């Protein structure tokens, strides 16, 4: 169980601000990530500075109100936050368990379309361990969902494995596959820089409908009608597209409310499939259980060396989440 070595809950050492524009609204937004107590999880604090109101939204799947263009949490009238997936991915991917995300607009700033700016913000202040064990949701049996030709599966696995396949007719993308254990290191190096992407024809249609108003070559990889990548600097990874889909999956599945001990396989997936996967998982209490990672520090026989091992023990039966 070497994968569970970082067994304590974490938060940020200090607060840190990130400002930018919303990809759909095109409006400026300021977001402040605040340290939070153990067992807070990720909570959005949607503040309206003009109306002097604020509304708390739990960053978990029970708060999701839309997954069509991006993942949106909240309440249509009281307050909502859209396009949370890349920030959620950075927090989960980097092992940040507890944060209050204060935000003064309806959308998380898109930054460069990847998770890099959030990772940089977290790196700027650093992480602090809290004196509480991290809790995991362990998948106990295979759970499968299918929407048309999109298929998702959560399989029992003692780690956090993401196994994502995309298949596009577009020659610029084609079939791509990513399969890896999602450690903070892997997330930062292999996933966090991958940008969102779209086709010129779709972008034009979204613009006409009043969406994607903030989208540009500064925050998306765009493919034109001739299957060429429009961005002058090209791609950041040769398979940037599947890496971005993996980033989205890390963010969406983090809405489980705790890290999943599972092997997640997705074929032609997206926000909706990821969300349906969580609904299917939690629809049956026998699909999963809470576990706590307990680090056991064991001195090895030789003086001066120690071996870290982590074991997992069952805490309680399934709770409602
Ligand atoms: Zn995305």
Alpha-carbon dihedral of residues 108, 114, 116, 117, nearest 10 degrees? -30
pLDDT > 90 fraction of the chain, expressed in percent and rounded? 69
Give the domains, in start order, of the chain with CATH numbers.
Answer: 7-133 (3.30.230.20), 136-286 (3.30.1700.10)
**What's the pLDDT band for 89 if we cut at 50, 70, 90?**
very high
**Does residue 318 surpass a pLDDT of 70?**
no
The two structure tokens encoding residue 9: 């809950």
Is the Cβ–Cβ distance between 179 and 163 less than 8 Å?
Answer: yes
pLDDT tens-digit profile of 36-59?
999 999 999 999 888 888 899 999
Ligand 1 center–CA 13 separation, angstroms: 27
Spacing, Cα 289 to ligand 1 middle (Å):
29
Cα distances from 270 to residues 28, 67, 152, 280, in angstroms, run 26, 9, 10, 15
Give the C-alpha separation, 75 to 106, whole Å: 11
Supply the pLDDT for residue 157: 94
pLDDT, tens only, 214-248:
778 888 899 988 889 989 999 999 999 999 999 99
CB-based neighbours (< 5 A) of ligand 1, an ion: 196, 248
In the predicted model, is pLDDT for residue 2 greater than 70?
no
| pTM for this prediction | 0.87
248 Cα–ligand 1 center, Å:
5
pLDDT of residue 227: 86
Q: Which residues contact 254 (CB under 8 A, 6 or more apart)?
A: 42, 59, 88, 89, 91, 92
Q: Which residues are known catalytic residues?
A: 271
pLDDT of residue 296: 41
Higher-pLDDT residue of 313 and 147 is: 147
């Amino acid at each position: 169980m070497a994968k569970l070595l970082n067994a304590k809950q974490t938060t940020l050492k200090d607060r840190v601000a990130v400002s930018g524009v919303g990809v759909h609204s095109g409006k400026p937004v300021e977001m402040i990530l605040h340290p939070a107590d153990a067992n807070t999880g990720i909570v959005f604090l949607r503040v309206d500075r003009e109306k002097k109101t604020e509304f708390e939204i739990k960053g978990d799947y029970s708060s999701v109100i839309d997954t069509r263009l991006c993942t949106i949490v909240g309440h249509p009238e009281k307050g909502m936050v859209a396009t949370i997936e890349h920030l959620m991915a950075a927090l989960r991917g980097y092992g940040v368990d507890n944060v209050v995300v204060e935000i003064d607009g309806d959308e998380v700033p898109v930054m460069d379309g990847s998770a890099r700016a959030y990772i940089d913000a977290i790196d700027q202040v650093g992480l602090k361990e809290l004196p509480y064990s991290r809790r995991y949701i362990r998948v106990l049996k295979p759970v499968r969902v299918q929407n048309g030709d999109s298929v998702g599966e959560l399989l029992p696995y003692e780690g956090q494995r993401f196994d994502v396949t995309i298949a596009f007719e577009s020659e610029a993308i084609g079939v791509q596959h990513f399969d890896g254990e999602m450690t903070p290191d892997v997330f930062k190096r292999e996933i966090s820089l991958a940008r969102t992407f779209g086709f010129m024809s779709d972008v034009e249609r979204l613009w006409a409908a009043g969406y994607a108003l903030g989208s540009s070559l500064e925050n998306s990889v765009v493919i034109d009608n001739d299957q060429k990548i429009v961005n002058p600097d090209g791609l950041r990874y040769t398979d940037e597209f599947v890496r971005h889909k993996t980033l989205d999956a890390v963010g969406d599945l983090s809405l489980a409310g705790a890290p999943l001990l599972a092997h997640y396989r997705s074929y032609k997936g997206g926000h909706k499939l990821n969300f349906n996967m969580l609904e299917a998982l939690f629809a049956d209490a026998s699909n999963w259980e809470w576990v706590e990672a307990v680090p056991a520090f064991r001195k090895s026989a030789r003086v001066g060396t120690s071996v870290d091992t982590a074991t997992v023990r069952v805490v309680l039966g399934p709770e409602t989440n």
